[in-house]
Structure 1
């Protein structure tokens, strides 16, 4: 028997544990070649068992001979106090891997096989290599029925929320465009109108900020299900981190392998988005698909194919969906990174004269489509109603109530004090902005880990510039991040400028 010990090692998303080379209960050599072990609680009244990757440790200060040391993820998921007695055993390979092997050869999986695969992934029974095999096999060939089965399987592996209202609205953007924080404007507009919108959002994985990262500048986003329900009942909406409420947990595991491998297929995207909406209890969804040369969806043809698959799966699982194509050719707003994006959001809600016009227009467009779901509104009146709620200050008031209900952030977060301006190399006009590259520069600067890191944009497509005029400012909080971001921006700033004659009045 071994005593549980917690150690401060982050092994997200895997469960990782450490066994002493001099273990008194087991011969470490017998476990050295194993990839996975099962950990069993010896308390018969507790059914806390998990699978984990095992590492052998020589250092007795890390793990004693009578201990099993658990990394942060494994300790949290085992949910036993330190000192609890556990045993370990060799983990049997998941039987669902047989279906993955058949998929690799080009066979179509059944719904039952997909259920088993997703359940095993959600319970961390697959290694990253096995997840990669499943993803690559699915990327090669996936039928529409497999997408539907995957969506259903992912939705039922975690928490499934239900609400009393017959209409629960949501708005989702597939991503790929920095600064596109429309959810933080749409949600309070919808709340001010009175429709219920329990908005759960993700944290960033490879982008400079997710909605949850930006909202966290203003309020607590890590709420329990009960807290979330109370806020929605009182304020009609919330803006919280979905990871805390465990919606479609298999998706979160899959994403950690998808992103490093740059696997982002249309089929997996549909299953990912719709499984979370189904689990969240949504009934009516507005889906924003930005289309642009450096966005996730790069052509109109690809956008139409994605829309059709979204519409088919939505209809089969009982969701009403309205798909909107938007401009994905350049970043939205003037800030890239949590605090700069929060600044833009609040500028729009406060009706400030210098608020980013593109962020405001896009938010009103999408809010209008969401409000059109309200049967009490005349068809097509949603856009005008959204404008009314924003102009009157009712949307701002709703946002302030949501912030207070979730727990207002006491700390004032400012843009990073390490700054460098990226300037125009020539006179001309901005003709293109590379969303992917500018997002990478902002991330290298430290976003979203450092809430104040990111890019403050001064120019957008169509603007004229003079040589030496600032295009954007890099903000960073940490010296090495600052140097990395500057180096990448110096190599290629992500902004294309075509040379034209520029009037002397704008020259420097």
Structure 2
């Protein structure tokens, strides 16, 4: 068959982007006019995928009568070595006209957004076209009605969990604050109080840890819907990775474009968050917005705009929503990185004497506000209920039961390589740069290496002497420890120290 090639697994992880590798002398490349970065439709049995072409020279690893597929393309086709697939030009993406319309300032409808999302999920749009869409929606270019339409279209593109009309509580932090691992604590407290809180969380994209990364240190998080329901019906809550559930699946594609562009788009952030909350079947949602000079939301004005958009969009999609503005001036807790954050969570649950008090108090604030949000609650009593659940040990017991139901509890491991970073002068710590300390944790290997990250020794307001440790770099290998240390030594101002006597 002249229009087919034998398939090989390339073993190359291109995340969600299907990629096909073909030899420069391939007869199909020549006959079809395929060139590097061409979009190619690949048909195998009853499945198909649209992939981006990379052309391979005469390097010897790929023959002219075969094609190699990236991990995502291989999985999408359910391919087996030796399969022969058919290659052709895909139909043009119809939604490109709507992207152009948005770029020129037109308002888009829910049907327009649904068309763009559909083409995104079928990989009909190139990264350049997706970047054009993200750019056209950036800043304040999405009106409130468009944000509602985008949210609904994103939710409709995937599954929506149905909890039979029951009240389902949920919380979300917009991010930008290292540590701050309140979610496992809030879930344990709220579930211990008898409320339903099936929490689906994300993995890190640019941060040292996402909630799913931290939770995975202590229990399995990759559960399908059947397993999710089993855990929630047994324990009232869970903390799992949402990526296995097909909830608002276009969001991950958009995030991959948004992060490198570093756009601050209120409308897109709100649509991303609320589409996933609605898809998870949540009915009552608390949004945590840390505000600080080095957080994601850096000013009171930006926070006010974000709060207004959340409130304007939540009601039309059927969510009862409350917003909590929190202090984003410095990291929360001591650990930054999956295992270190997990240790902080456990220290708070176990009521250990040296548990990070800022993490405890923030978790209690959030859990209390979420309990107050539940129908039938007595306003203002949520915080006291949260304290009772934590101090009595009920939250710890519930958390361990949730871990057991998800597949079993594991104590966090410790990094074999640690490097202390000392203070360069005497004085009082006046601030910690969230972005720089997060960068150091990532250079140490987080979140890929679960034990890697940064352990804070000193915090804002502490008095330190020159040479006293400010923080420790934790790494899984000496090379990563040295790499992070080199960066840290070039950024000694991550901790600002007001010199002189108190």
Does the TM-score normalized on the shorter chain lie above 0.5? yes
Residues 216 and 409, structure 1, Cα contact 8 Å, conserved in 2: no
Match of 1:3 in 2: 6
Contact 2:19 2:69 (C-alpha < 8 Å) held by counterparts = yes
Task: Report what 1:200 is aligned to.
Answer: 200
> In structure 2, what is the equivalent of residue 505 of structure 1?
none
SS for the counterpart of 2:461 is coil
| Aligned counterparts of 1:413 and 1:363: Cα–Cα separation in 2 | 20
Distance in 2 (CA, whole Å) between partners of 1:392 and 1:354 is: 18
Distance 1:402 1:124 in 2: 37
Partner SS state of residue 298, structure 2? coil
Mapped to 2, the partners of 1:356 and 1:113 lie a distance apart of: 48
Report what 1:506 is aligned to: none
- The Cα shift of 1:257 comes to 1.2
Q: What is the rounded CA distance, in whole Å, between the counterparts of 1:469 and 1:197 in structure 2?
A: 43
CA contact (8 A) 1:34 1:90 kept: no
Separation in 2 of the partners of 1:311 and 1:242? 24
Equivalenced residues, count: 497
Measured in 2, the distance between the counterparts of 1:227 and 1:33 equals 42
- Are residues 28 and 337 of structure 1, via their aligned partners in 2, closer, same or farther at CA, if it must alter by over 3 Å? farther
2:264 is matched with: 264
Deviations 1:228-285 (A, max 9, x none): 1111111111111111112111110111111111123111110110011111111110
* CA distances 1:194-230 after superposition (whole Å, capped 9, x unpaired): 2111101000011000000000110111111111111
Deviation at 1:298, TM superposition (A): 1.0
Q: State yes or no: 1:439 paired with 2:438.
A: yes
Instruction: State the distance in 2 between where 1:254 and 1:56 align.
Output: 26
Q: Contact 2:214–2:341 at 8 Å: present in 1 too? A: yes
Corresponding residue for 1:76? 75
Counterpart-to-counterpart distance in 1, 2:294 and 2:28: 56
Is contact 2:99–2:132 with CA below 8 Å preserved after alignment? yes
Residue 371 of structure 1 corresponds to 371
Q: CA separation in 1, counterparts of 2:135 and 2:377?
A: 46
SS at match of 1:216: helix
Which of 52-61 and 382-391 deviates more?
52-61
Range with greater deviation from structure 2 (19-28 or 262-271)? 19-28
For residue 137 of structure 2, give the secondary structure of its aligned residue in structure 1. Answer: helix
What is the 5 A alignment of 1:82-481?
82-140=81-139, 141-408=141-408, 413-481=412-480
Distance 1:314 1:122 in 2: 25
SS at 1:403's partner residue? helix
* Structure 2 length-normalised TM: 0.95
Structure 1 residue 66: Cα displacement: 3.7
Q: Contact (CA 8 Å) 2:212, 2:241: kept in 1 or not?
A: yes
Q: d(CA) in 2 for partners of 1:34 and 1:10?
A: 17
The 3-state SS of whatever aligns with 2:415 is coil
CA deviation vs aligned residue, 1:94-148 (integer Å, no higher than 9, x gap):
1111111122222222222111112211222211111111111111522111111
Paired position in structure 2 for 1:67: 66
Any gaps of 5 or more consecutive residues in structure 1? 503-508
1:39 to 15, 28, 42: 42
Tell whether the 8 Å contact from 1:420 to 1:486 is kept in structure 2 after alignment: yes
What TM-score do the two structures reach when normalised by structure 1?
0.94
Q: Which runs of 5 or more structure 2 residues have no equivalent in the other structure?
A: none
**Residue 74 of structure 1 aligns to a residue in which SS?**
helix
